[in-house]
């Protein structure tokens, strides 16, 4: 049954806001991952009714029961409260969701595979929407996409399947999500302006009317969906290139005895300098993928993105640099049976997400070298890939470090920032513990008998309890 409510394309801006705030607008959110759940909660907080759609039956059942898998309390409470009030429901039937809603908001991921972007999840959702939408319907795409996808892939599919014309019979909006999981609701509502684009002027005006009721930082109108798509990817590629630059400069800083963390602090006092911090590599759903989208598009259009591709390679190889630092610290002991505790599976601190985490590459290389490996993470309880490798994942730090010859800190969890070399040395109870801090998060004021090497700091402890200036390697002048 079609829901009550007017064609949004025919409403004035003030009327759109009123329909939203008074609960007369129903939005089907496709994709109930970490971002999708945050997007759903934002619509609910704005006054809309929401139907959450996902192909994962177990996830849908969990959410429908009030067990909301999300790190943000505001998301969990909003979904639970809305379930009780009847403003939210979770389903697997996308067709029914389209029929019972005014708007479809698509937040499913586009992945990157061996042959290029994998559009399957997006295509499946767009097909469902196109088959069941009606005149006056609104489609919003929030997924990060290669430029031209909305105009040259989504729009033709919707028009062919529905028999309707975009920007005349239905609205088609591209508005990329710009969030950091862990503070996603705040990012959408407060921190960042909402970027919107439409396939025509009516769609763009509706996008501005809808998101003007949500984003306190305002709405930024892009001239076309391809511009908004490009801008979203450019944000991530900027970070990937900057991180690669930091990783390369950190290697040179270690070689000449310079603490790169100090360099960053000094250089970034200049307003045009925004050097990032080096690390163990780059993970997550976004930054490792966006450069590949643009490189793929560049190859199709005959444009080589050499800097982008080199930066991606630098960051993909960065886990091997972490292992190299460990071998340097171990010295001759690297030839023996070594137990290594890897602290952090999550790709980023204080989130329970391990997608594309550099820890996986580090663990695989350690196993190749014949080391015994255990992984600790305070937020992730189990992991199929580590299990397939025969590597234990534990939540007790003392259990992970006990008896270890070396510790690698690969994630900047707050729990690790409170540790010192002496803390880890005491937990290990092994003389001459080697610590490689691949996120430069530990406080190093005393060393006990540990050797400490920071990814950007170099060697600060030599295993004899003496702090020292950073150095790693020598220079032949």
Tokens of 428: 């290990």
Question: Is 235 domain-assigned?
Answer: no
Residues 269 and 128 in one domain: no
pLDDT digits (tens, 9 = 90+) for 157-191: 999 999 999 999 999 999 999 999 899 999 999 99
The C-alpha atoms of residue 201 and residue 351 are separated, in whole angstroms, by: 39
Q: Give the confidence band of 4 by pLDDT, cuts at 50, 70, 90.
A: low
Q: What percent of the chain has pLDDT over 90?
A: 90
- The answer to whether residue 292 scores a pLDDT higher than 60 is yes
pLDDT digits (tens, 9 = 90+) for 198-213: 999 999 999 999 999 9
Q: Is 320 helix (H, G, I), strand (E, B) or coil?
A: helix
The C-alpha atoms of residue 155 and residue 473 are separated, in whole angstroms, by: 56
In which domain, by residue range, is 300 found? 241-477
Question: Which active-site residues does the annotation give?
Answer: 232, 286
Q: Give the confidence band of 52 by pLDDT, cuts at 50, 70, 90.
A: very high
pLDDT at position 443? 87
Residues 429 and 376 in one domain: yes
Which residues have CB under 8 Å from 42's CB, separation 6+? 185, 188, 189, 214
Residues 315 and 427 in one domain: yes
Residues 133 and 57 in one domain: yes
The C-alpha atoms of residue 474 and residue 108 are separated, in whole angstroms, by: 49
Question: Is 216 domain-assigned?
Answer: yes
Q: For 397-410, give the DSSP string.
A: HHHHHTT-SEEEE-
Residues 146 and 285 in one domain: no
Alpha-carbon distances of 48 from 96, 210, 413, rounded to whole Å: 18, 11, 35
The C-alpha atoms of residue 342 and residue 330 are separated, in whole angstroms, by: 15
Question: Is 233 domain-assigned?
Answer: no
69-73, 335-339, 409-413, range with greatest mean pLDDT: 409-413
The domain boundary residue, chosen from 165, 196, 223: 223
How large is the angle between the packed helices 225-255 and 290-301, nearest 10 degrees? Answer: 110
Contact criterion met (CB below 8 Å) for 451 and 463: yes
- The answer to whether residue 471 scores a pLDDT higher than 80 is no
Residues 217 and 246 in one domain: no
Residues 66 and 212 in one domain: yes
Average pLDDT over residues 444-463: 88
- Report the candidate in 166, 111, 179 with the shortest Cα–Cα distance to residue 140: 166
Q: Maximum Cα–Cα distance for the chain, whole Å?
A: 79
pLDDT at position 281? 97
Which residues have CB under 8 Å from 429's CB, separation 6+? 402, 403
Tokens of 184: 């996603």
- The answer to whether residue 92 scores a pLDDT higher than 70 is yes
Question: Is 362 domain-assigned?
Answer: yes
Q: What is the CA radius of gyration of the chain?
A: 25
Residues 252 and 164 in one domain: no
Q: Give the confidence band of 448 by pLDDT, cuts at 50, 70, 90.
A: confident
Residues 208 and 272 in one domain: no
- The answer to whether residue 100 scores a pLDDT higher than 80 is yes
- The answer to whether residue 65 scores a pLDDT higher than 60 is yes
pLDDT at position 210? 97
CATH number for the domain spanning 194: value is 3.40.50.720
Q: SS3 string of 259-319? A: CHHHHHHHHCCCCCCCCCCCCCCCCCCCCCCHHHHHHHHHHHHCCCCHHHHHHHHHHHHHH
pLDDT at position 1? 43
Number of domains in the chain: 2
Residues 203 and 102 in one domain: yes
Average pLDDT over residues 342-371: 96
Q: Give the confidence band of 470 by pLDDT, cuts at 50, 70, 90.
A: low
pTM: 0.92
CA 140 centroid distance within chain? 21
Neighbour-count burial for 119-158, b at 16+ CB within 10 Å, e otherwise: bebbeebbebbbebbeebbbbbbbbbbbbbbbbebbbeeb
Question: Is 16 domain-assigned?
Answer: yes
Question: Is 262 domain-assigned?
Answer: yes
pLDDT at position 477? 34
pLDDT at position 6? 63
Residues 340 and 207 in one domain: no
Contact criterion met (CB below 8 Å) for 168 and 206: no
Q: Give the confidence band of 468 by pLDDT, cuts at 50, 70, 90.
A: low
pLDDT at position 464? 59
Q: What percent of the chain has pLDDT over 70?
A: 96
Query: Which strands sit side by side in the sheet containing 171-174, from one edge to the other?
Result: 88-91, 49-53, 26-30, 103-106, 138-141, 171-174, 194-198, 219-221
Average pLDDT over residues 237-259: 96
Question: Is 234 domain-assigned?
Answer: no
The domain boundary residue, chosen from 223, 255, 278: 223
Residues 187 and 247 in one domain: no
The mean pLDDT of the chain is 94
Contact criterion met (CB below 8 Å) for 172 and 205: no
Which of 28-32, 54-58, 262-266, 350-354 shows the lowest per-residue confidence on average (mean pLDDT)? Answer: 350-354
């Amino acid at each position: 049954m079609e829901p009550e409510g007017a064609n949004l394309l025919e409403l004035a801006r003030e009327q759109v806001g009123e329909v939203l705030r008074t609960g007369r607008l129903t939005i089907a959110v496709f994709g109930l991952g970490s971002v999708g759940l945050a997007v759903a909660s934002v619509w609910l907080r704005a006054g809309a009714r929401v139907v959450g759609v996902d192909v994962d039956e177990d996830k849908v059942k969990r959410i429908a029961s009030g067990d909301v898998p999300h790190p943000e309390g505001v998301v969990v409470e909003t979904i639970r409260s809305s379930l009780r009030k009847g403003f939210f429901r979770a389903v697997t039937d996308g067709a029914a969701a389209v029929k019972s809603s005014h708007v479809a908001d698509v937040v499913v991921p586009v992945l990157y595979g061996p042959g290029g972007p994998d559009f399957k999840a997006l295509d499946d959702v767009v097909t469902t929407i196109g088959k069941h939408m009606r005149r006056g319907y609104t489609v919003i795409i929030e997924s990060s996409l290669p430029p031209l996808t909305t105009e040259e892939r989504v729009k033709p599919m919707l028009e062919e399947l529905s028999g309707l014309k975009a920007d005349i019979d239905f609205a088609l909006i591209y508005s990329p999500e710009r969030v950091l999981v862990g503070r996603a609701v705040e990012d959408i509502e407060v921190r960042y302006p909402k970027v919107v684009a439409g396939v025509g002027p009516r769609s763009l005006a509706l996008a501005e009317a809808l998101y003007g009721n949500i984003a306190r930082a305002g709405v930024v109108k892009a001239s076309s969906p391809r511009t908004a798509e490009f801008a979203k990817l450019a944000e991530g590629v900027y970070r990937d290139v900057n991180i690669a630059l930091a990783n390369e400069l950190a290697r040179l800083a270690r070689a000449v005895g310079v603490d790169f963390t100090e360099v960053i602090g000094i250089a970034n006092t200049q307003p045009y300098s925004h050097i990032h911090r080096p690390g163990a590599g780059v993970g997550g759903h976004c930054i490792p993928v966006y450069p590949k989208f643009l490189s793929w598009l560049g190859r199709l259009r005959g444009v080589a993105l050499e800097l982008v591709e080199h930066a991606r390679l630098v960051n993909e190889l960065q886990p091997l640099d972490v292992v190299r630092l460990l071998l340097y610290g171990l010295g001759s002991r690297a030839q023996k049976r070594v137990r290594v505790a890897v602290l952090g599976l999550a790709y980023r601190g204080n989130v329970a997400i391990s997608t594309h985490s550099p820890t996986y590459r580090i663990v695989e290389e350690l196993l190749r070298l014949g080391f015994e490996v255990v992984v600790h993470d305070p937020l992730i309880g189990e992991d199929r890939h580590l299990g397939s490798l025969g590597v234990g994942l534990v939540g007790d730090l003392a259990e992970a470090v006990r008896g270890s010859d070396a510790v690698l800190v690969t994630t900047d969890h707050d729990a690790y920032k409170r540790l010192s070399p002496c803390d880890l040395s005491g937990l290990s109870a092994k003389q001459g513990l080697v610590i490689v801090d691949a996120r430069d998060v530990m406080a190093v004021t005393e060393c006990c008998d540990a050797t400490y090497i920071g990814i950007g700091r170099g060697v600060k402890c030599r295993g004899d309890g003496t702090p020292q200036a950073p150095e790693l390697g020598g220079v032949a002048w």
